Amino acid sequence: MTLRFATFNLFQFCEPSFSYYTKKEKFTKDEWNQKTIWIKKKITEMNCDVIGFQEVFSSKELEELTKELGFNYFATVDEPKISKNNPNIYISTTLAIASKYPIKKISEVKVNGYSLKKYDFKGKFRFSRIPIKALIEFPNNLNITVYVNHFKSNRLNEFEYIFTKKDTLKEKKEKVKEALEKDYSPALKQRLCEASSLFYDFKRTKTPIICLCDLNDKEYSLSIDALTSRTYHEDLDKNFNLLHDAYYLYEKKIYNPHPEQKEVKRTPTSYYQSYGNVIDYIFVSKEFDKRYKNHLGKISSYEVFDNHLKDNKDGSLVKSDHAPVVCEISLNS
């Protein structure tokens, strides 16, 4: 059998009796209708079993929407904060998870004290959005822990370094060392604390793991190392990842009209000033890596549903400014 998982940033999912962040930022009834119709169409097209959602203000409305589409199980672990000055304005967003299979246990990921100490974080720490940890029961007594997260926004200051495949972990750590020690980039420090806290929660988890993410950080970023790599945390001699980017576990078909083209270019999931970035990811544990001797299944497809961004790279409020990502796993039995 196959199972399909998605990460989907809804872009200000806030029903129009409320505003988000400021009084003037709200949907008209017509805009809200357009948005919910588009989301339903997109979810139907994605044909998933489990979806992790980001930028959720109106969780009850999202639960009703997903249940109409066959997702009988829905959960959140947090509620959006409301402005002290106006009870009709939300000032923070949350995460949600919808599943066609039973959610046996739901919990929030706790902050890891060692992570805060490691980065010398001052003051009271709170996740930008509290991550979801959901234990889901699939057929044949297969239990998978599914995480949903959305890291602190990348503020794009000069200390938010962009790394490439060629940069080693050692080089990346050295480059950001001064920025972290002198607090030149609070958003980067926040993301690393968030990623590190999740990593230590992964280590304690006894089941296979799927992690559905909006990392707000680019491919090859230090945030990904902090989230997935034992080498990052334990200074191992050999590279060892606790989780793997599902994109690289899928064998892509290469249509190569140019002899010099050696690999498929990864599809952006979001754009900033018309420049595409990959910031939405799905990570999986070794049980879904076919190179692992005792693997339970393999990644049979990895899709980015970006048609709406081809029309408008910045996205639109009645759709989204992110492309949903879908990963399909073919189980061995």
Residues near 25 by beta carbon (within 8 Å), at least 6 away in sequence: 12, 19
What CATH code is carried by the domain that includes residue 181?
Answer: 3.60.10.10
pLDDT value, residue 226 = 95
Q: Is the pLDDT of residue 261 over 80?
A: no
Q: Is the pLDDT of residue 209 over 60?
A: yes
pLDDT value, residue 40 = 98
pLDDT value, residue 314 = 82
pLDDT value, residue 257 = 54
pLDDT value, residue 141 = 94
Q: What is the mean pLDDT of residues 67-76?
A: 98
pLDDT value, residue 222 = 94
Amino acid residing at 119: Y
- pLDDT for 82-136, tens place per residue? 999 999 999 999 999 999 999 999 999 999 999 999 899 988 999 999 999 999 9
d(CA 205, CA 139): 20
pLDDT value, residue 155 = 64
pLDDT band for 274, please (50, 70, 90 cuts).
confident
pLDDT value, residue 264 = 74
- pLDDT for 275-320, tens place per residue? 899 999 999 999 999 999 999 999 999 999 999 998 888 889 999 9
Q: Is the pLDDT of residue 262 over 70?
A: no
The boundaries of the domain holding residue 282 are 2-331
Residues near 64 by beta carbon (within 8 Å), at least 6 away in sequence: none
Q: For 267-277, give one letter per residue: b (16+ CB within 10 A) or e.
A: bbbbbeeeebb
Q: What is the mean pLDDT of residues 211-224?
A: 95
Q: Which two tokens stand for residue 160?
A: 């938010």
Closest CA to 59 of 130, 145, 154, 153: 130
Domain count, the chain: 1
Q: What is the mean pLDDT of residues 40-50?
A: 98
pLDDT value, residue 161 = 85
Place of tokens 């988890």: 205
Q: Is the pLDDT of residue 232 over 60?
A: yes
pLDDT averaged over every residue in the chain: 93
Residue of 112 and 239 predicted with greater confidence: 112
For residue 328, the cross-strand partners are: 4, 301
- pLDDT for 288-299, tens place per residue? 999 999 999 999
pLDDT band for 19, please (50, 70, 90 cuts).
very high
Global pTM value:
0.95
Share of the chain above pLDDT 70, in %: 96
